[in-house]
Amino acid sequence: DARVTQTPRDKVTEMGQEVTMRCQPILGHNTVFWYRQTMMQGLELLAYFRNRAPLDDSGMPKDRFSAEMPDATLATLKIQPSEPRDSAVYFCASGLVTPPDYFSYNEQFFGPGTRLTVL
């Protein structure tokens, strides 16, 4: 049963601490997305990778957030230092796009999310 996994599922930390969230995309998928869900904004796109290369991280606060894909089976989202306003649920999603048919839209498969609370 292929699915996106995320760890940890819940994280409580104090302001100023570093937080690292991990995502394992579905094997074979070549796109990875990080989203943040808040009550006010809904699902906000933070970062987007294709074939491990970052294509868009314009939704991410650059001074404290960073996203990487050390290899095809792991994506990380790091917050340093964390602040109370970062409290949210962070979702990772993966999908598959296959050249040359970039003109087809493909479903994104979401992980269960990491609930982050920064005190």
Partner 1 sequence: DQQVKQNSPSLSVQEGRISILNCDYTNSMFDYFLWYKKYPAEGPTFLISISSIKDKNEDGRFTVFLNKSAKHLSLHIVPSQPGDSAVYFCAASASGGIDNFNKFYFGSGTKLNVKP
Binding site for partner 1 (CB under 8 A): 4, 31, 35, 39-45, 48, 50, 55-56, 91, 93, 95, 97, 102-103, 105-113
What amino acid is encoded at 22 in this protein? R
Q: How many beta carbons lie within 10 A of that of residue 100, not counting itself?
A: 5
Closest CB to partner 1 among residues 58, 62: 58
Minimum CB distance to partner 1, residue 52 (Å):
15
Cβ closest to partner 1, residue 27 vs residue 40: 40
Asked if residue 107 lies in contact with residue 4, where contact means CB atoms within 8 angstroms, the answer is no
Shortest Cβ distance from residue 28 to partner 1 (Å)? 15
| SS3 call for 103 | coil
Compute CA distances 118 → 56, 63, 79, whole Å: 26, 17, 11
CB of 78 to partner 1, least distance (A): 20
